[in-house]
Amino acid sequence: ISKGLLLSHNVKLRFASYYGNHMVLQKSPERAVLWGYGPEGAQVTVSLSGLMKQQTSPVTVTNGIWRVTLDPVAAGGPYNVTANIRNSSATLTDVLFGDIWLCGGQSNMLFNMNQIFNSSEELALVAKYPHVRPFMVALNTSETELKDLIEVAIPWSVPTVMADFSAVCWLFGRYMYENLKYPIGLVESCWGGTPVEVWSSSRALKQLCEIVCLIPIKHGPRAMHNSILWNGMIHPLLNMTIKGALWYQGEANANYNQNKYNCSFPAMIDDWRMAFHQGSGGQTALDFPFGFVQLSTYEKGTKDDGFPNIRWHQTADFGFVPNIRMKKTFMAVALDLPDATSPYGTIHPRDKQDVAYRLTLGARAVAYGEKDVAFSGPFPKLPVACNETYVNITFDQTVSVTPSKEVFEVCCLETLAPCGPKSPWVQAPIVQWDQTTILISATVCQSLQVAAVRYAWRDWPCDFKACPVYSASRVLPAPPFITSCPSVKGGIWKSYWT
């Protein structure tokens, strides 16, 4: 008998790394997947005891691993979940069933509860939400796709001290619990200073519009290569049945593969959806809802287009989501939440409450199908109307307008042609407005012609909650947009980003 076979027979029965006491498993209609390790050839059954009872058919440990899929369980608990073999068992206690949301990205998702505005008050509320359960993946890279996590940073727990957990993730879970009234599981897996490429599988990167080269990326605590965090911090989670994902990332791509983000980000979403669907045996929806935060602000007064371009590319260059390229997605606009005095740097604004709340509106509408939940700020109906005097912009909803001379810009050219980033863009004041329409002065172009218009196309376009255009309730800011005047043939799209 080989040494490997002897060792496999001596493996202790246990669950995989990200199962534990106090965890949340995905509720019905989906079915939760459980897996772990055991002696080779052993027959494993899993039983559920609590409000209801359930026992699975025996499964055989193969290559040291067993896996079962429970029958659907309604939201609630607590339950005990026990894996049994003939002479051994492993039990998870205080298990709840609810919705699991995976929270990923870079430092603004990593930004924790101890760092936000009103952190003391927010942390004091944590214990009032015992059915919102956190779990945090430890920071680890891998050159190959891992089956299980190398390490856990925060095991599943009943929330008490939450100072080190993602603020956006926790606040989203708390707000959703207040709306849904059943358990929420939050899985944090993020790393500061990381570009989208390290979170994408090699398979996804090969499917891009242009193949991204394997170039070392000097961001964060160490140089990173493509897929290294996908391999170590996402791939191990694929067997988990989840409800959806939240994402806050893009700052690191403002100066790395910026012009590919309109392709790389949607490709990552597609690939995650496929991989989680397959990994869970079809239990995670193939089109699971994916919410993200459009970038906030970094440098006031800069003329660098990195952040504006990434904001646009986050929507696959549509300006809004969901759209035909990014179905079942939702977005929290955050460019009106700058924080000039953040002790963590202006790139890390402390108002994560508004960010999480705006994500919640998107989740309620897109993920949970609530009717009459406004979740997107005003967006222009295209094409806009341009003449020598005005640019007439009609929005898709009632707007609340504050006059501004700075946030709208027009592109002034001698002949009508596509505009690029180096074209002469001139600030254009709002001169008139009503419930759905804004008129922008075109006379700033003087003897030149208006070829295009853009809105909030700067890193730091306005002060805190003081952008010119919001929804009627002033809850949701208009996202940035850029568009050509109808008379310009070919539009701005190719010329602007090439």
178-225 confidence digits (pLDDT tens): 999 999 999 999 999 999 999 999 999 988 745 444 444 444 434 579
Same domain flag for 81 and 112: no
What b-and-e string marks burial along 417-438, b requiring 16 or more CB atoms within 10 Å of the CB? bbbeeebebbebbbeebeeebb
Same domain flag for 236 and 325: yes
Do 166 and 195 contact (CB within 8 A), yes or no?
A: no
Same domain flag for 295 and 402: no
Boundary residue ending a domain (63, 92, 121):
92
Same domain flag for 74 and 101: no
* Total number of domains in the chain: 3
Of 226-240, 316-330, 482-496, the poorest mean pLDDT is in 482-496
Whether a cis peptide bond, with omega within 30° of 0, leads into 429 is no
Same domain flag for 74 and 222: no
Mean pLDDT of the chain: 93
Using 50, 70 and 90 to split pLDDT, how confident is the model at 248? very high
The one-character DSSP state at 479 is P
Model's pTM, two decimal places?
Answer: 0.95
Strands 449-455 and 437-441: unpaired
Boundary residue ending a domain (337, 367, 397):
367
Alpha carbon dihedral 281, 287, 291, 292, in 10-degree steps, equals 90
Residue 5 confidence (pLDDT): 38
% residues pLDDT > 70 (the chain): 94
Per-residue pLDDT reduced to its tens digit, 362-383 = 999 999 999 999 999 999 999 9
Do 449 and 414 contact (CB within 8 A), yes or no?
A: yes
Single-letter amino acid code for the residue at 418: P
Same domain flag for 87 and 102: no
Residue 161 confidence (pLDDT): 84
- Domain of 124, in residue numbers: 97-367
Residue 498 has pLDDT above 80, yes or no: no
Boundary residue ending a domain (64, 92, 120):
92
Calculate the alpha carbon distances from 274 to 72, 188, 239 in Å: 21, 20, 12
Question: Is 236 inside a domain boundary?
Answer: yes
User: Average pLDDT, stretch 286-307?
Assistant: 97
Residue of 470 and 492 predicted with greater confidence: 470
Residue 444 confidence (pLDDT): 95
Half-sphere exposure of 309 (CA within 13 A, CB side): 22
Residue 8 has pLDDT above 80, yes or no: no
Show the tokens assigned to 217.
């990326």
CA angle 275–277–283, rounded 5-degree value: 155
